[in-house]
Amino acid sequence: MSRPLGVGIAGLGTVGGGVLRLLSANAELIAARAGRPIVVRAVSARDRTRDRGVALDGIAWHDDAAALAADPTVDVVVELIGGAEGPARALVDAAIARGKPVVTANKALLAVHGAALAAAAERAGIALAFEAAVAGGIPVIKALREGLAANRILSIAGILNGTCNYILTRMREEGRDFAEILADAQRLGYAETDPSFDIDGIDAAHKLAILAALAFGRAVAFEAVHVEGIRGISALDIGFAGELGYRIKLLGLARASEAGISARVHPCLVAQGAPLARVDGVFNAVVIEGDVVGRVMLEGRGAGAGPTASAVVADLIDLARGRATPVWGGAVSDAPSLPIGDHVGCYYLRLMVTDRPGVIADVTAVLRDQGVSLESMLQRGRAPGEAVPVVLVTHETRESAMRAALARIGALDAVLEKPAMLRIEAG
């Protein structure tokens, strides 16, 4: 068997600890599949005393993560620190400068600096591997770069954040509001103390930017992703969605057309019978549509020590075997990014209005003036003079027209709070 592949790991948190344990527990199997042993030679983390469930005897320790790149026993650097800047960026830059391949699970780093890092890696003639950066143990990166390489990718739709999916699932099942479920999720460890990165859609947007770059052969463009989170989703909207035959999911959606590429993350209504509607709890799922293969769906655990470590080690096995592909798939597209105002689709609109004659006529007049056609309306009960919810579902219309209509509807005297608008997707 060939010389062992020496690995340096920076970051020994949940994922880093998982990689150490996996390389130890499945060492014989991994060596057989890699063609040689994969051995951890050096590590770097903030706390030397923490018990990570595996012995670190004989492994060099570096307080400065960037020093891993200069360690002569390290052939491949594994970056599991996280964050778009700071030690993570310094380590990856140092490794590339030294001509050492990099494996990373850092979606923020790739989404923000992916184009520059890819160019640097290609100039250095080394691999930059990141299967673990999107959807944990689901091999979606390999699917796009390898399994579907003969296809022109038409669209991607995915549940890319397990925290949001968990919260929305429990809201639907228990009929409770967002804030209450979020607090419970934090107590149980499914949501961070500061959950903004997840619930405001940023985590999913980082992942979608990476997937869109791979799918459409473009430079990664995080700034072009339209992002909305789930803070505004209420139990009332989830209930109405159910009555209409839908479930509310936070989706990442990217599509290529003759006009350009759209990329957006937002909550939307998905038909209850659609595959993505049935993905619940902390699970992730991605549906990829190719021009030859049609629709392919991948589902599994999108985070956690085991699934993410599985993806990291898969990249290490590829490197041990000498397998590498261009970072963004090899093709370069100059297709423009499309603004959210160009989106065309159906919409769910929920209003809280004063129950009095003429209110619905005023609302529908605004929609008519903006060229928005209604498919259906829901109103439950009567409460003259009091606040009642009214739900409207539109036919396909352009987002810019819908936004103009919402601004006028929100200004009506009878409309008591900001209208809730959700896009409807096929799923």
The answer to whether residues 377 and 345 belong to one domain is: yes
CATH number at residue 264: 3.30.360.10
| Residue carrying structure tokens 């998905």 | 270
- DSSP letter at 105 equals -
Question: Total structural domains in the chain?
Answer: 3
Expressed as residue numbers, the domain containing 388 is: 341-425
Q: Which of 100, 107, 207, 249 is the catalytic position?
A: 207
- The β-bridge relationship of strands 344-354 and 387-394 is antiparallel
Residue 303's pLDDT is what? 80
The helix or strand, by DSSP H or E, that contains position 318, with its residue range, turns out to be helix 305-321
- The CA distance from 399 to 392, in Å, is 15
**In a 3-state reduction of DSSP, which class is residue 389?**
strand
- Last residue of a domain, which of 81, 112, 133? 133
Angle between helices 86-97 and 107-124 in degrees, nearest 10: 10
- DSSP string of 83-140, one letter each residue: SSSHHHHHHHHHHHHTT--EEE--HHHHHHHHHHHHHHHHHHT--EE-GGGSSTTS-H
- The CA distance from 427 to 416, in Å, is 32
Angle (CA) 246-249-250 rounded to 5° is 150
The answer to whether residues 125 and 145 belong to one domain is: no
The answer to whether residues 221 and 248 belong to one domain is: yes
**Which residue type occupies 164?**
C
Instruction: Say how many residues make up the chain.
Output: 427
Segments in 189-268 forming alpha helices (H): 196-199, 202-216, 235-243
Residue 309 lies in a domain: no
**In a 3-state reduction of DSSP, which class is residue 210?**
helix
The answer to whether residues 93 and 29 belong to one domain is: yes
Residue 327 lies in a domain: no
The answer to whether residues 293 and 148 belong to one domain is: yes
| Residue carrying structure tokens 């956690």 | 304
The answer to whether residues 111 and 180 belong to one domain is: no
**In a 3-state reduction of DSSP, which class is residue 342?**
helix
Residue 331's pLDDT is what? 64
CATH number at residue 88: 3.40.50.720
The answer to whether residues 92 and 14 belong to one domain is: yes
> 228, 291, 219: which is closest to 261 by C-alpha?
219
- The CA distance from 323 to 187, in Å, is 43
The answer to whether residues 75 and 213 belong to one domain is: no
Instruction: Give the C-alpha distances (Å, rounded to integers) separating 139 from 83, 298, 371.
Output: 22, 8, 43
Instruction: Give 133's contacts (C-beta < 8 A, 6+ positions apart).
Output: 104, 105, 106, 107, 110, 141, 207, 210
The answer to whether residues 398 and 264 belong to one domain is: no
Residue 285's pLDDT is what? 97
The answer to whether residues 29 and 124 belong to one domain is: yes
The helix or strand, by DSSP H or E, that contains position 344, with its residue range, turns out to be strand 344-354
Per-residue pLDDT of the chain (427 residues; tens, 9 = 90+): 589 999 999 999 989 999 999 999 999 999 999 999 999 999 999 887 787 777 888 899 999 999 999 999 999 999 999 999 999 999 999 999 999 999 999 999 999 999 999 999 999 999 999 999 998 889 999 999 999 999 999 999 999 999 999 999 999 999 999 999 999 989 888 888 899 999 999 999 999 999 999 999 888 889 999 999 999 999 999 999 999 999 999 999 999 999 999 999 999 999 999 999 999 999 999 999 999 999 999 999 888 889 999 999 999 999 999 988 878 776 667 889 999 999 999 999 999 999 888 999 999 999 999 999 999 999 876 777 788 999 999 999 999 999 999 999 999 999 999 999 999 998 7
The answer to whether residues 150 and 297 belong to one domain is: yes
Q: Reply yes or no on whether 107 is catalytic.
A: no
